[in-house]
Amino acid sequence: MATRTKKGPEDLNLNNIVSRQFEKAAAHVNLPPGLLQQIRVCNNVYYMQFPVKIDDKYVIFEAWRAEHSHHRKPLKGGIRYSLMVDQHEIMALAALMTYKCAIGNVPFGGSKGGVKLHPRDYTQEQLERITRRYTAELIAKNFIGPGINVPAPDYGTGEREMAWIADTYDAFHPGGIDNMACVTGKPLSQGGIPGRREATGRGVVFGLREAFRDPGALERTGLKGTLEGKTVAVQGFGNVGYHVAKILHEEDGCKIVAVGEYDGAVINPKGLDIAKLAAWFQAKKTIKGFPGATKTLANGVDVLALDVDIIIPAALENQITGANADRVKARIVAEAANGPTTTDAEKILLKKDILILADIYLNSGGVTVSYFEWAKNISHMRYGLLQKRADAFQRAQIVSATEDLMHVRFPASVREGLLKGLDEEDLVRSGLEETMATGYQEISAILKKNKKVNDFRTAAFVCAIEKVGLAYLELGVFP
Ligand code: NAD
């Protein structure tokens, strides 16, 4: 990735980038400067180095857990496994979590963790020991717990790691009835929730649907109508990228014309078959050589410069920079990843009237459904268990009464739809849609009300800062 611009090297420190985004919005918020600073800074960071025996060697791992804001508890945020992890990145990602939770009205403060490693360099058994040791370090310093700090998956981690974390926490807290709420994104059989795996991707789609229902947002982009038939390029085909591509393709009729990965990109102007590409990627560990592609690119990031309607960075930060932003032709940048657009890039994109659906709104679906999982874990009851049958019984009575009164029978398929009770996944999706829709309306209202705020990210930050600020004003500052 090129990082030089005409003005010289660009500052790609994610913490500085997020701080600049914050400051731009803070200028439109009526709060005392000291309080604004408190909302911006990261409250505390735990840096650790721990050994794990890998084969016959002692390997020392560097790891972090940052706690950005304690205005709501517990704190929440994913755990990242990547060689790019460093303290600035983790602090920045923790800050984004605070703002994300505030926008979605998820009652948590922001946190983030990471271990500097490349998962592909270790066996499953080694990764398990690293994960358990990292968890033990977090337990020792009180950086994890159902009411303290609740991790979740992020880049390089998934349900498997979350199960190891839950089990380690449980081993250290025998008999703790809420132990499983110490982490979210767990497998379904271990206290997870249906719909969590797809949640971030589905949230991105809900956010895009909101934008396409908002003529004001689309006006400057020149795009019209619905998502149907729109062309899309996705960078990153992991948890988030795969689900966004799949849902946009299957449910919204978008054409996913390109997918970029760490080692290249595949293209088909008629639209890639996402299910087949996923099967290929899972089997071969690369998207290269996919038979359904008509063209390939050597560099995954280049899909962001293709002539499509929407680009979806869903890999890592700093992908659209001052060095490549002028090559972006898409009319919408949908930030599924955290921090994919740098400060310089943003200026260039905004000048071109490109709509940037900012990360702190658009990828908040993951933490939203994590909140549902956490609430389910501490209530020890699955959503809908008590009312599903009662609800179905009531529906059946209404359907029968309507048929008797009207002297008609609903066609079998309609009857089936009317009678079906809502299962847990339906409820999760409904709660996610409501959260994404409400968040969009709140941001949109700020854009309409304050004429000096004229981009989506700044409005999203204003929305978040005002809510966190209100919590501080109402709670006061101890002592
Ligand atoms: P993941 O590890 O499941 O997938 C990331 C994918 O990106 C991998 O397939 C990887 O090979 C690919 N990749 C790496 N470098 C690339 C490059 N240069 N070009 C193209 N592809 C590349 O991670 P994920 O959970 O899907 O997270 C992706 C992004 O979404 C991250 O920024 C993460 O912080 C953000 N996010 C994730 C969640 C979540 O619930 N998992 C929630 C909110 C935000």
Q: How confident is the model at residue 84 (pLDDT cuts 50, 70, 90)?
A: very high
Strand 355-357 relative to strand 332-334, pairing: parallel
Q: Which residue has the tokens 């008797």?
A: 404
Residue with CA nearest ligand 1 atom 24: 155
Residue with CA nearest ligand 1 atom 11: 262
Residue with CA nearest ligand 1 atom 35: 337
For ligand 1, say whether the CB of 368 is within 6 Å of any of its atoms. no
Looking at residue 3, what is its pLDDT?
A: 57
Please state which of the ranges 300-314, 387-401, 424-438 shows the lowest mean pLDDT. 387-401
For ligand 1, say whether the CB of 312 is within 6 Å of any of its atoms. no
Looking at residue 271, what is its pLDDT?
A: 98
For ligand 1, say whether the CB of 238 is within 6 Å of any of its atoms. yes
Bond prior to 151 in cis (omega within 30° of 0) = no
Pair of tokens at residue 222? 């020149």
Q: pLDDT digit string (tens) for 93-148?
A: 999 999 999 999 999 999 999 999 999 999 999 999 999 999 999 999 999 999 99
Q: pLDDT digit string (tens) for 18-66?
A: 999 999 999 999 999 999 999 999 999 999 999 999 999 999 999 999 9
For ligand 1, say whether the CB of 301 is within 6 Å of any of its atoms. yes
Residue with CA nearest ligand 1 atom 20: 261
For ligand 1, say whether the CB of 156 is within 6 Å of any of its atoms. yes
Looking at residue 421, what is its pLDDT?
A: 82
| Nearest C-alpha neighbor of 157 from the set 197, 194, 191, 193 | 197
Q: What is the pTM of this model?
A: 0.96
Q: How confident is the model at residue 1 (pLDDT cuts 50, 70, 90)?
A: very low
Looking at residue 420, what is its pLDDT?
A: 85
Q: How far is the CA of 288 from the centre of ligand 1 (A)?
A: 18
Q: How confident is the model at residue 184 (pLDDT cuts 50, 70, 90)?
A: very high
Q: How far is the CA of 437 from the centre of ligand 1 (A)?
A: 24
Q: How far is CA 240 from CA 82, 243, 293, 456, in A?
A: 16, 5, 21, 21
Residue with CA nearest ligand 1 atom 4: 238
CA dist., res. 262 & res. 286, Å (int): 9
| Nearest C-alpha neighbor of 261 from the set 292, 238, 291 | 238
Looking at residue 8, what is its pLDDT?
A: 72
Q: pLDDT digit string (tens) for 346-389?
A: 999 999 999 999 999 999 999 999 999 999 999 999 999 999 99
Percent over 90 (pLDDT), the chain = 95
Active site amino acids: 112
Looking at residue 455, what is its pLDDT?
A: 97
Looking at residue 6, what is its pLDDT?
A: 62
Pair of tokens at residue 391? 């609800």
For ligand 1, say whether the CB of 14 is within 6 Å of any of its atoms. no
Summary mean pLDDT of the chain:
96
Percent over 70 (pLDDT), the chain = 99
Q: How confident is the model at residue 2 (pLDDT cuts 50, 70, 90)?
A: very low
Q: How confident is the model at residue 460 (pLDDT cuts 50, 70, 90)?
A: very high
Q: Which residue has the tokens 């854009």?
A: 447
> Which ligand 1 atom sits nearest the alpha carbon of residue 370?
40
CA dist., res. 95 & res. 89, Å (int): 10
For ligand 1, say whether the CB of 314 is within 6 Å of any of its atoms. yes
Q: How far is the CA of 242 from the centre of ligand 1 (A)?
A: 10
Q: pLDDT digit string (tens) for 187-201?
A: 999 999 999 999 999
Q: pLDDT digit string (tens) for 102-117?
A: 999 999 999 999 999 9
Looking at residue 5, what is its pLDDT?
A: 59
CA-based diameter of the chain, in Å?
Answer: 79
CA dist., res. 387 & res. 427, Å (int): 12
Q: How far is the CA of 317 from the centre of ligand 1 (A)?
A: 9
Q: pLDDT digit string (tens) for 152-161?
A: 999 999 999 9
Looking at residue 464, what is its pLDDT?
A: 98
